[in-house]
Chain A
Amino acid sequence: AQKITQTQPGMFVQEKEAVTLDCTYDTSDPSYGLFWYKQPSSGEMIFLIYQGSYDQQNATEGRYSLNFQKARKSANLVISASQLGDSAMYFCAMREQKDQFYFGTGTSLTVIP
C-alpha cells in the first residue's frame, strides 16, 4: 500500500485565491511527522511546513497551513492568497518512528494571473 497518496497530479488556481492540495497517508506508528515541500522549476526542494502526529493544533507558516485530520489520515496543504511564485510541484511526505521518509508523487500547481 502507498504510504503517501497525492491524488491531484495537477491543479490550477487564480492569483489571490486559496487552494488546497490533498494528501492522505498510511501508517500504524503512533508517532509520525508530516511534511510539505515545494519544488520550483529550478529543482531545489524547499521545506514548507511540518505537523507532528501529537500536535493538537494545525500547523501554520505564513500563507501555508496544514489541515490535519488524524482520524481520516489526511494532511492537506492550504495556500492562501496564491501568488505567481507559488507555481511549482508540491510534495507531501511522512516520517515514521524508524526515521524513513516517504514521499507522495507530487501535485503540480499553476497559479493563473
Chain B
Amino acid sequence: DVKVTQSSRYLVKRTGEKVFLECVQDMDHENMFWYRQDPGLGLRLIYFSYDVKMKEKGDIPEGYSVSREKKERFSLILESASTNQTSMYLCATDSYGYTFGSGTRLTVV
C-alpha cells in the first residue's frame, strides 16, 4: 500500500512565523497535492505538482508556496503565517485515486 506521511499531526505557530508542512510518499508517484479543509467548505486545493521542481497553483494559493526538490517529498510553506490559515492541511498522492496523509492541524495564534 502507498503510504503518505505528514510530519506533524498538530502544530501551533505564531502569527508572522514561517511554517513548513512536510509530506513524504513511499511510492514513485508523480502527482502530489496539498489541500486545506475547513468546516462547511470541504477540501480546497492549494497547490499541486506533477513532477520534481514542477508546481501549479490550485484554487487558493494566496499566502502559500511549495517546494518539490525530490519526487517523494512535497512541502507546503506558509511564508508569514496568519490566523486565517488556521486549518487542517491534507497532503495526497495520486495514481488510481487519492491516497491521503493523516493530516496536520495547524493553529496560528
Residues of A within 8 A of B (CB): 4, 9, 33, 35, 37, 42-45, 47, 50, 91, 93, 95, 99-101, 103-106
Contacts and interface: CB of A to CB of B under 8 A. Distances in A.
A36 to B, nearest CB: 10
- Interface SS of chain B: helix, strand, loop or mixed? strand
Given A50-B97, A99-B31, A44 B43 contact: no
A24 B28 CA distance: 33
B99 A47 contact: yes
Interface in B55-109: 88, 90, 92, 94, 96-103, 105
Contact of B97 (A35, A42, A103, A106): A35
Interface size class of B (residues with CB under 8 A): 20 to 34
A96 B7 CA distance: 30
A50 B95 CA distance: 13
Contacts of A104: 42
B102 A44 contact: yes
Interface of B: 9, 31, 33, 35, 40-43, 45, 88, 90, 92, 94, 96-103, 105
A30 to B, nearest CB: 19
Contacts of B42: 4, 91, 103-106
A104 B43 CA distance: 8
Contact of A42 (B40, B94, B102): B102
A40 to B, nearest CB: 11
B104 to A, nearest CB: 9
A42 B103 CA distance: 9
Given A44-B102, A50-B97, 9 more contacts: A43-B105, A44-B101, A44-B103, A45-B103, A91-B42, A99-B31, A100-B45, A104-B42, A105-B42
